[in-house]
Amino acid sequence: MKIHKEGRRILFVTLLILLTLNLLMFYFNRGNTLVNGLFAGATAIIFLLILQFFRSPYRHMFTHEDLLIAPADGKVVVIENVFEPEYFEDERKQISIFMSPINVHVTRNPISGLVKYFKYHPGNYLVAWHPKSSTQNERTTVVVESDAGPLVLFRQIAGAMARRIVWYVNEGDEVSQGEEFGFIKFGSRVDVFVPVDSDVKVELGQKVKGGETVICQLKV
């Protein structure tokens, strides 16, 4: 287990603030050890909660040109055919994974290939399970021409708590399945859009692991 680079500064600043608060508490409230102890315990819990947001566990990843792996940890909340208006402008199969605050927040490439399209969209911060969050919230859209041939679109979506999306890909990049393509701070969701004839390998409500769980097989 390691701490993700996106969390190191936040954790350092948080630790300094909490230590300062504890020192002030012990200095001005020296006669009340019970309250001081409870305050110290509460701040320790706060720090540990923030720490777990930024954990980056090792994953046993594999690569296969026609299998999509989960781009994030979380729960499958959508499997349906929808009209995708931003890039394809036709019907696609959508698979959405909701990331709670206790999930790992790293997002990974679900497939290897060439990035044909990338766009960042500023937007709102509706709760991630809201039907309009996919088109109205702050988000990034990535389209990869997979090594197997079909185009795959995946989208990081900010939520009510997640107020910053980080990405590491740009148009023209070659990406490898399982490698990090970004990070969503404090949870949200990732949508994946594949051809409608793709064979979905997961079910609604299923918990998946980013970089490990196969979610779909492309028809090639």
Query: What 3 state SS string does 102-113 have?
Result: CCCCEEECCCCE
Quickly tell me which residue has 């692991």 as its tokens.
209
3-class SS of residue 8: helix
Q: Tell me, what DSSP letter sits at residue 160?
A: S
Catalytic residue positions? 188
Determine the angle formed by the axes of helices 33-53 and 5-28, rounding to 10 degrees: 170
Residue type, 183: F
For Cα atoms 200, 114, 164, give the angle at the middle one, nearest 5 degrees: 75
Q: Strands 174-175 and 113-121: what pairing? A: antiparallel
* Total residues belonging to the chain: 220
3-state helix, strand, coil in the chain (%, to 5): 20, 35, 40
Radius of gyration over every alpha carbon of the chain, rounded to an integer in angstroms: 20
